[in-house]
Structure 1
């Protein structure tokens, strides 16, 4: 199943409602937002999906601000080449009972296959991405549709805005390459110039442990989703 097929499999009004939730639309703006988002969803109908060997999986992430569903784009060839069973993650059901040292070590195990943001991607390529149906059902098909559409519309509800953003990104990258070696400011000097107080060693330790806990939680969730997709410990992938 492709992203476009997933979207078309859901009632339009439920997808729009989920998008309103994702955009945190206020009650007084609801009617206008629903009209705009309905036009956006319908504008995708004429687009012919293009498959590039990519896959989108829904993964529940945790951060300092809370939990959210992230649509993660993977190259299927990279998953096949890089994903492997990690015995220590297989045995983990959560972080309870782990020491600080174990959390830090497990947070930085061998890297999992990379996922890629796609807010700059052409819409026909996003719509052509494969969706793993068991994963979509687990996180909620409507919720996954909304997460993907939210990412696609990051720069606006018209693809021409995405194209402009892509051009601006290319220009910014070129400028950054030209300026990279002209000057360098250390993080400490930058914080001092902005009046940001330096962290104490205890604060640094707490911050580091919090980040390690977040990273390990997200790593474990990602591992489980990829393990389910590959079926490496449960027979063949569906």
Structure 2
């Protein structure tokens, strides 16, 4: 069974109604990035940071996976599918995808400020005074600016094994995530789906200048048909 590796970004979640980070009307508006997504911001104003992520967690409960998420689940009928996402939502999991790696953490999890390996599921608001078993404050389980990306190494290993690569809803211009492209085998087909693609089509790279909700189902249908012919 061929392995399809899918790299997803904010564009796929935006179609479910989740605000994106860098759009003009996105979540950063009214906040300096360093205020709400950095260790410095956390030390200076924990209440602001907690409120920022609490609002995102509440919003996540109000949205559902869209046709792009659901199509990637369908792809598992004929392929081994691995999703590497820059998103902190759980829409891929809720659509039924089995293998999802979160590069930047998960909104519905929190972790200890004493032991970063102590990670807990968390559905509701996280507040000052919510402590781990070691009596230390819990924080969002999200990779902030200036922090390392611990899941990069397993993401690289997965990408190296790809037979097909699909890039959805991300410019792939922000590092370190953009570096994953260099780990994909040189001779595999690459599908790039984005309304405003940052790359031009080549013999290897197939560009689809459209939304994830239409582009992904179309490509998935083609891939499923190809697999069933062979």
Is TM more than 0.5 here?
A: no
TM, length-normalised to structure 2:
0.25
Bigger Rg over Cα: 1
Identify the structure with the greater strand proportion: 2
TM, length-normalised to structure 1:
0.25
